[in-house]
Amino acid sequence: MEFSSFHHLNIRRASLNMRVWTLFLLMLLLKSDVVYSGSEYLVGLGSYDITGPAADVNMMGYANTAQTTSGIHFRLRARAFIVAEPKGNRVVFVNLDACMASQIVTIKVLERLKARYGDLYTEKNVAISGIHTHAGPGGYLQYVLYIITSLGFVRQSFDVIVDGIEKCIIEAHENLRPGSIYVNKGELLDAGVNRSPSAYLNNPAAERSKYKYNVDKEITLLKFVDDEWGPVGSFSWFATHGTSMSRTNSLISGDNKGAAARFMEDWFEQKGSGTMDSLASEDDRLPRRISNIIPSPHDDYQELLELAASFQSPPGRPATRTSSISRRVRGAFRQADKPRFVSAFCQSNCGDVSPNVLGAFCIDTGLPCEFNHSTCGGKNELCYSRGPGYPDEFESTRIIGERQFKKAVDLFKDANEEIEGDIDFRHAYIDLSNLEVTISNEGASKVVKTCPAAMGFAFAAGTTDGPGAFDFQQADDKGNPFWKLVRDLLKTPSKEQIDCQHPKPILLDTGEMKKPYDWAPSILPIQILQIGQLFILSVPGEFTTMAGRRLRDAVKTVLSSDKDFEFEDIHVVIAGLTNTYSQYVTTFEEYQVQRYEGASTLFGPHTLSAYIQEFEKLAEALISGEPVEPGPQPPDLLHKQISLLPPVVVDGTPPGVKFGDACCDVPQNSTFKSGDNVTVIFWSACPRNDLMTEGTFALVEFLQEGTWIPAYDDDDFCLRFKWSRPHKLSTRSKATLEWRIPQGVSLGVYRIRHFGAKKGLFGSVKHFTGSSSAFVVA
């Protein structure tokens, strides 16, 4: 009995001591700055405005000299995620609402990151990828071929992208917190069709029989979840071109992928807390803003009319730059200490994939275009593809964006496969102008070479998304004597180059054109980022559907060959147009057909084999833990750039008119309803005076209890900012703001505002603002 009591006393003392020590350790942890979590990763996301100059700058993508910016459809952004092991490796992926990545942009971003973070972020673990919108400002690449139509290098385009990438990475870095990542995959059937099916059909029948479709329908999504805040973002990869907006559009736009990102970010923010329960609702999935911003609409119509009549258009007045930023809708209502939700829709192997899913038709007859050459009566200029909203390209952009957004929401809500395992990466530079490649040929192997870059005749024919001009045709493997004569005035290709590029007839021998500096790249980056069982293949170009499939399969075969590999199922995605740009990559068989994509495959028929060979080396090094040779460094040509774009000299208005005055106001006592267009025109100034980065040129405000509340800005799909001048040399200009009233807008009093910046005769820049008269939405 005595022994038992003594034993229980010792147990109680030991238990008390344990509780004391536990309490002591907890107090130490609470007082320290160290955060302990069961999460395997630190996760951070960031986003920043990269919209660029909304006037006078040629758009990158269609190479149409007449297509210059003159306003904003909705803003462009750089979005980044960082995934880090608490005491190990980390990777950065940046998705740009831009046509493609740029080698000089990547070089300068890495220089800034090195100055700020040392060797934490380098070319090895940072990937910068473009969504391939054809509606963004050009002039930010360093090679001559890609900046001819933009009148050379455009410093504003370059600076805003470099700044935006750096700032979104800084935000992601500062948001690093313990979190988890989930992956999900699904099929999206109605957002892309093959625009060069005759080339695809030249691939071996046995290979084609392995696939149900002639484009990739798979979309892969990553879901990022913060341990404290819950879901904080998603990045997805899906292959379809950014050509819903046509070659005649002049409004800056993120096209279908930028639209999908905007839709999903708004959808999430409008769901409230962002918890899994609040995300489970299926109702009202399309984005709506105003109903969330304004909780109690007014219902006395006559009183609203009288109230609106008391707010007539005031004269334009001076403003501060920060006034534009402070009125941004998405900056005003976000919880300050909570990370914003960031959603990116990334590009993949989109080389032959068009979002214009209705097909290609002749504009003169309405009949389908000729199959093999995409011509109408022998002319490529008459063959255009049609989006699902035809003939409204804005509607086509919305529909294709919405389809990607809706599928991403489904994948996001159902994502339950957790990413686990190592963070790792491999990167190398390769000279694709003269690379030896070992290929198999009927059971035997032989060594072939890639070629210096060259463009074929079919390149000038364009595609059904944006036809070329003159008498060029796709699938031209002969060339034209007249254009060969013109070509030779620039550079006559050598016999060796002609033989190497066969059967491509060379139109521009860009790889051997060096005046005033390099016309095309030769040293290109390749990269693999590993996040557990997910592998991202960063490629510096546009791979066609089958080319992408071959590359993915080859890398997956290498990864799966490792018996010690810990994952049964691995996910391999291609991130197209990443780190730099070198146009297209087709299969060997597609190259023989010389459709647009084959003619734009710079380095000859064995380009894909070269990529596969070099990526297999990276994959082998990754699973073995071995380093790779860095390869030759690409050139920094920033100091050689030439710019012929005239600067803004001075802005002016007619006598007695102020900047910001409404020259075409809404009629007095106006009433509008959902679906109506409200248009106001203001006396304005050139948008290049101030890009209004993280601000807005256009704003719709709602009157609530005597205060004007921001409701929509120029980052909204329903509000368009259009800028124009009477002629190129005029100092006078106007801003037209068009608001198509969305469904579900509350009854109330509204007005439209314009923000701008004028340039004086001696170079000073001063900001101004103007307002329309108030009107009623009933």
Model pLDDT for residues 53-102, shown as the tens digit of each residue: 999 999 999 999 999 999 999 999 999 999 999 999 999 999 999 999 99
3-state percent breakdown (helix, strand, coil) of the chain, nearest 5: 30, 30, 45
Nearest to 192 by CA among 368, 404, 346: 404
How large is the average pLDDT for residues 229-233?
A: 96
According to the model, what pLDDT value does residue 1 have?
38
Across all residues in the chain, what is the average pLDDT?
91
pLDDT tens, residue by residue, 726-771: 998 999 999 999 999 999 898 999 999 999 999 999 999 999 999 9
According to the model, what pLDDT value does residue 275 have?
39
According to the model, what pLDDT value does residue 270 have?
84
Query: What percentage of the chain has pLDDT greater than the value 70?
Result: 90
Does 690 score more than 60 pLDDT? Answer: yes
pLDDT band, very low/low/confident/very high, at 22 (cuts 50, 70, 90): very low
Quick check: pTM over 0.75?
Answer: yes
How large is the average pLDDT for residues 486-504?
A: 97
Lowest mean pLDDT among 60-74, 291-305, 383-397: 291-305
Does a cis peptide bond (omega within 30 degrees of 0) precede residue 391?
A: yes
- Out of 47, 313, 354, 733, which one is annotated catalytic? 354
Q: Return the sign of the alpha-carbon dihedral for residues 453, 457, 460, 464.
A: negative
- For residues 752 and 327, the answer to whether their CB atoms sit within 8 Å is no
According to the model, what pLDDT value does residue 38 have?
59
Does 516 score more than 70 pLDDT? Answer: yes
How large is the average pLDDT for residues 93-121?
A: 98
Place of tokens 């040929």: 441
According to the model, what pLDDT value does residue 300 have?
82
pLDDT band, very low/low/confident/very high, at 605 (cuts 50, 70, 90): very high
Helix (H) or strand (E) holding 255: helix 255-269
Q: What is the DSSP string of 75-117?
A: --EEEEEEEE-TTS-EEEEEEESSSS--HHHHHHHHHHHHHHH
Count CB-CB contacts under 10 A for residue 706: 6
pLDDT band, very low/low/confident/very high, at 26 (cuts 50, 70, 90): very low
Q: Give 344 or 39, the one with higher predicted confidence.
A: 344
Residues 749 and 700: their CA atoms lie apart, in Å, by 11
The conformation of residue 376, written as its DSSP 8-state character, comes to: B
Residues 460 and 474: their CA atoms lie apart, in Å, by 8
- For residues 71 and 251, the answer to whether their CB atoms sit within 8 Å is yes
Residues 614 and 436: their CA atoms lie apart, in Å, by 11
φ, ψ for residue 95, nearest 5 deg: -110, 125
Does 287 score more than 60 pLDDT? Answer: no
Does 669 score more than 50 pLDDT? Answer: yes
According to the model, what pLDDT value does residue 660 have?
98
pLDDT tens, residue by residue, 352-388: 999 999 999 999 999 999 999 999 999 999 999 999 9
Q: Is 298 exposed, middle or buried (0-12, 13-18, 19+ CB in 10 A)?
A: middle
How many angstroms from the chain centroid is the CA of residue 675?
29
Please list, in sequence order, all residues whose beta carbon lies within 8 angstroms of the beta carbon of residue 611, skipping any fewer than 6 positions away.
Answer: 526, 539, 551, 585
How large is the average pLDDT for residues 565-581?
A: 89
Residues 466 and 355: their CA atoms lie apart, in Å, by 12
Q: Give 717 or 271, the one with higher predicted confidence.
A: 717
- For residues 134 and 245, the answer to whether their CB atoms sit within 8 Å is yes
- For residues 618 and 426, the answer to whether their CB atoms sit within 8 Å is yes
How large is the average pLDDT for residues 717-734?
A: 96
According to the model, what pLDDT value does residue 334 have?
54
According to the model, what pLDDT value does residue 295 have?
46
- For residues 53 and 688, the answer to whether their CB atoms sit within 8 Å is yes
Residues 474 and 492: their CA atoms lie apart, in Å, by 22
Nearest to 342 by CA among 23, 627, 93, 711: 93
Query: What percentage of the chain has pLDDT greater than the value 90?
Result: 86
- Count CA atoms within 13 Å of residue 7 on its CB side: 4
According to the model, what pLDDT value does residue 335 have?
57
Please list, in sequence order, all residues whose beta carbon lies within 8 angstroms of the beta carbon of residue 547, skipping any fewer than 6 positions away.
Answer: 349, 351, 585, 586, 587, 590, 608
According to the model, what pLDDT value does residue 563 have?
65
How large is the average pLDDT for residues 253-275?
A: 86
And the tokens for 422?
A: 């190592």
Across 282-352, where does the E strand assignment appear?
Answer: 317-319, 342-347
Q: Based on C-alpha coordinates, what's the Rg of the chain?
A: 28
According to the model, what pLDDT value does residue 564 have?
66
Task: Confirm whether 354 is a catalytic residue.
Answer: yes
Count CB-CB contacts under 10 A for residue 722: 20
According to the model, what pLDDT value does residue 280 have?
38
Residues 45 and 74: their CA atoms lie apart, in Å, by 21
According to the model, what pLDDT value does residue 565 have?
62
pLDDT band, very low/low/confident/very high, at 469 (cuts 50, 70, 90): confident
- For residues 612 and 557, the answer to whether their CB atoms sit within 8 Å is no
How large is the average pLDDT for residues 602-617?
A: 98
Count CB-CB contacts under 10 A for residue 733: 23
Residue numbers belonging to the annotated binding site for Zn(2+): 132, 241, 542, 584
How large is the average pLDDT for residues 265-270?
A: 92
